[in-house]
Amino acid sequence: GAGVSQSPRYKVAKRGQDVALRCDPISGHVSLFWYQQALGQGPEFLTYFQNEAQLDKSGLPSDRFFAERPEGSVSTLKIQRTQQEDSAVYLCASSLAGGAEQFFGPGTRLTVL
Amino acid sequence: ILNVEQSPQSLHVQEGDSTNFTCSFPSSNFYALHWYRWETAKSPEALFVMTLNGDEKKKGRISATLNTKEGYSYLYIKGSQPEDSATYLCAFRGSTLGRLYFGRGTQLTVWP
């Protein structure tokens, strides 16, 4: 497709489960960003990749959060031992370069029970 | 902590009304200001990227202005239509990496 896609669109997890969220960026986009939007808040930055290199992971809230982009294309955000406070919409965005316009996917809504 | 504030939080207008909302952001280390429109269950859609003080941009019935010296941007919608109902997000980008700092958004509902 032409846009950024994310899967799954909705995920329900029991507290303590591990989850993996996938992002397929626009083909050829070098930069990839993950954001987390909690209820009633704006999206907050989690991490940033340029190709396969993770250049900034300062927004990851704890060491339970891990992101990778091994071949510089598809990215996976993994959350281990999910907690209720992890419930949020996780947005992925890609851009041609770090400073260029970011194109967003539809997000994955994660609910932790 | 970098604060981006949007007001109002929500807005209900009648079809045909014109409306505007505000985004305030730090006036230092400014690189760009982004406006996005986000409809439920869809991807946030880029409306404008504004970089220069005094910038004015327009897309159909929607326009935006930018004042980087005082740190604010206005988004205007002329003659609102029900299909304009969405959350409008602004995002600040500083001078370093491409990460965006978002406001909480303004949720607009346009009643027919």
R_g (Cα) of chain A, nearest Å:
13
Instruction: Read off the tokens for A32.
Output: 């990839």
Is the CB of residue B40 less than 8 Å away from at least one CB of chain A? no
Query: What confidence category does residue B32 fall into, taking pLDDT thresholds of 50, 70 and 90?
Result: very high
Question: What CA–CA distance (Å, rounded) separates B33 from B16?
Answer: 28
- Cβ-based contacts of B91 with chain A (< 8 Å): 42-43
Is the CB of residue A65 less than 8 Å away from at least one CB of chain B? no
Structural contact between residues A49 and A69, judged by C-beta atoms closer than 8 angstroms = yes
Look at residue B58 and give its three-state secondary structure: strand
Question: What CA–CA distance (Å, rounded) separates A93 from A5?
Answer: 9
Identify the residue among A37, A48, A109 best suited for mutation to test binding to B, counting B beta carbons within 10 A and taking the highest: A37
Query: What confidence category does residue B87 fall into, taking pLDDT thresholds of 50, 70 and 90?
Result: very high
Nearest to A111, CA basis, from A21, A42, A46: A21
Q: Is the pLDDT of residue B90 over 70?
A: yes
Is the CB of residue A104 less than 8 Å away from at least one CB of chain B? yes
Q: Is the pLDDT of residue A99 over 80?
A: no
Structural contact between residues A46 and A65, judged by C-beta atoms closer than 8 angstroms = yes
Distance from B77 to chain A by nearest Cα, in Å?
A: 21
